[in-house]
């Protein structure tokens, strides 16, 4: 590969008309023959030292801009107090510190990126070369050599003979990774069975998450998607977020004939099915329902579940169907649960 400083050499070697650098363009009648590299096209900077100098100055200017951006970043960090708000068109009122740090960091990174790209495109060698591949494995002689050395090394180290050292060393090497595992305990309390149980229990009424009223079968029309929570769970509760993150439900009414999964049909009430709203990938709340196909989509990573087929995963990274809640109606005509979910909701790393 030619160096940046070799512009003169390159221009001296320039052919008058056609030039295929490294290999000629193959002229052959075989339509499948390797055509080789196309003729190398020299850039202006390769043949004109003044153009090369100009590119050099542009690259240096971009790197200098980056340096100024970094200095400005540090200055802004020192100058602006955390609570200073300024009006900046078209963003409105923004934190002066955040805005200035973002802007100066962007200039610093952009300067480096743009400088590197311009350098590579205009001054670094762009000559196409073919790199021949050779066999990567060693020949038999080399392998025999290495094997002999390995055996001799093992013999000389006394690894086989000095059993006390060997066994204690193996013990030490086996135990030392435990220190890394033990400190994982500091990540927080173990979930124990908290992920396995939710607030749903036999006889708990399904309450509309928006209206806070008990849900009745006649409230659920075919094609609609309703979100529900267990009765007694109020936003004012201290553990509301923890409980709703496990108990949130999606309620959909399907035509009974559209339900393909037998257990799903048995756990439904007149075609009304209740599934966990928590995605089994990493636990985002699912919210997009396509009524023609009965598919629900998780907006986080596009996992898609078929609500007419046991909420089976039909696309995306989720590993399990959405858990279904068995429901019925009580004497007052309200939808109620017939128990808790049969399997843990959400990603459920611990149980599966
Ligand atoms: S959390 Fe739903 S697809 Fe990732």
Segment 288-303, tens digit of pLDDT: 899 889 999 999 999 9
Domain boundary among 88, 105, 122: 122
Pick 263 or 191 by higher pLDDT: 263
* Stretch among 42-46, 138-142, 183-187, 266-270 having the lowest mean pLDDT: 183-187
In a domain, 30, yes or no: yes
For ligand 1, the distance from its centroid to the CA atom of residue 315, given in whole angstroms, is 11
SS3 state at 205: strand
Instruction: Provide the domain limits for residue 276.
Output: 206-337
Same domain, 103 and 221: no
278 contacts: CB under 8 Å, gap ≥ 6? 245, 246, 248, 284, 285, 286, 322, 345, 346
User: Residue 163: pLDDT band by 50, 70, 90 thresholds?
Assistant: confident
Average pLDDT over residues 178-198: 79
For ligand 1, the distance from its centroid to the CA atom of residue 318, given in whole angstroms, is 6
Average pLDDT over residues 151-162: 85
Predicted pLDDT at 87: 93
Looking from the CA of residue 303, the nearest atom of ligand 1 is 3
Domain boundary among 63, 98, 122: 122
In a domain, 344, yes or no: no
In a domain, 183, yes or no: no
Same domain, 211 and 303: yes
Return the best residue to mutate from 248, 282, 320 for the ligand 1 pocket (most ligand atoms within 8 A of CB).
Answer: 282
Looking from the CA of residue 283, the nearest atom of ligand 1 is 1
Return the best residue to mutate from 300, 315, 347 for the ligand 1 pocket (most ligand atoms within 8 A of CB).
Answer: 300
Domain boundary among 122, 157, 178: 122
3-state secondary structure 22-69: CCCCCCCCCCCCCCCCCCCCCCHHHHCHHHHHHHHHHHHHHHHHHHHH
Predicted pLDDT at 278: 93
Pick 311 or 22 by higher pLDDT: 311
Pick 216 or 5 by higher pLDDT: 216
CATH number of the domain at 311, please.
2.102.10.10
Same domain, 210 and 118: no
- Give me the number of domains the chain comprises: 2
Name every protein residue with a CB atom under 6 angstroms from any ligand 1 atom.
Answer: 279, 281-282, 284, 298, 300-301, 303, 316-318
In a domain, 75, yes or no: yes
Return the best residue to mutate from 277, 280, 303, 321 for the ligand 1 pocket (most ligand atoms within 8 A of CB).
Answer: 303
In a domain, 304, yes or no: yes
Rounded Cα gap, residues 151 and 229, in angstroms: 68
Same domain, 109 and 210: no
In a domain, 306, yes or no: yes
Same domain, 117 and 224: no
Predicted pLDDT at 162: 84
Same domain, 95 and 218: no
In a domain, 57, yes or no: yes
Predicted pLDDT at 181: 84
For ligand 1, the distance from its centroid to the CA atom of residue 313, given in whole angstroms, is 11
In a domain, 348, yes or no: no
Same domain, 106 and 216: no
pTM, two decimal places: 0.52
Nearest Cα to Cα of residue 313 among 335, 333, 298, 292: 298
Q: Tell me if 260 sits within 8 A of 308, measured CB to CB.
A: yes
Same domain, 214 and 329: yes
């Amino acid at each position: 590969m030619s160096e940046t400083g070799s512009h003169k050499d390159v221009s001296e070697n320039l052919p008058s008309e056609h030039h295929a650098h490294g290999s000629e363009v193959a002229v052959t009648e075989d339509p499948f023959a390797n055509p080789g590299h196309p003729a190398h096209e020299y850039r202006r900077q390769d043949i004109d030292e003044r153009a090369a100098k100009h590119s050099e100055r542009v690259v240096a200017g971009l790197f200098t801009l980056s340096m100024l951006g970094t200095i400005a970043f540090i200055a802004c960090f020192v100058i602006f107090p955390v609570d200073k708000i300024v009006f900046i068109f078209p963003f409105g009122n923004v934190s002066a510190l955040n805005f200035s740090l973002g802007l100066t960091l962007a200039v610093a990174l952009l300067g480096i990126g743009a400088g590197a790209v311009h350098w590579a495109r205009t001054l670094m060698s762009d000559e196409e070369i073919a790199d021949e591949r050779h066999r990567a494995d060693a020949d038999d002689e080399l392998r025999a050599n290495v094997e002999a050395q390995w055996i001799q090394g093992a013999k000389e180290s006394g690894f086989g003979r000095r059993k006390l050292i060997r066994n204690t060393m193996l013990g030490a090497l086996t135990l030392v990774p435990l220190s890394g595992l033990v400190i994982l305990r500091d990540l927080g309390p173990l979930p124990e069975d908290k992920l396995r149980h939710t607030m749903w229990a036999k006889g708990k009424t399904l309450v509309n998450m928006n209206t806070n009223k008990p849900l009745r079968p006649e409230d659920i029309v075919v094609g609609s998607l309703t979100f529900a929570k267990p009765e007694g769970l109020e936003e004012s509760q201290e553990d509301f977020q923890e409980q709703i993150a496990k108990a949130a439900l999606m309620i959909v009414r399907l035509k009974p004939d559209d339900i393909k999964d037998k257990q799903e049909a048995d756990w439904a009430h007149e075609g009304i099915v209740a599934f966990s709203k928590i995605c089994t990938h990493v636990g985002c709340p699912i919210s997009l329902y396509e009524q023609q196909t009965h598919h629900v989509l998780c907006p986080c990573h596009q996992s898609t579940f078929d609500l007419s087929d046991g909420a089976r995963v039909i696309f995306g990274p989720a590993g399990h169907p959405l858990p279904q809640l068995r429901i019925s109606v009580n004497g007052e005509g309200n939808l109620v649960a017939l128990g808790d979910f049969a399997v843990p909701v959400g990603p459920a790393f611990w149980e599966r």
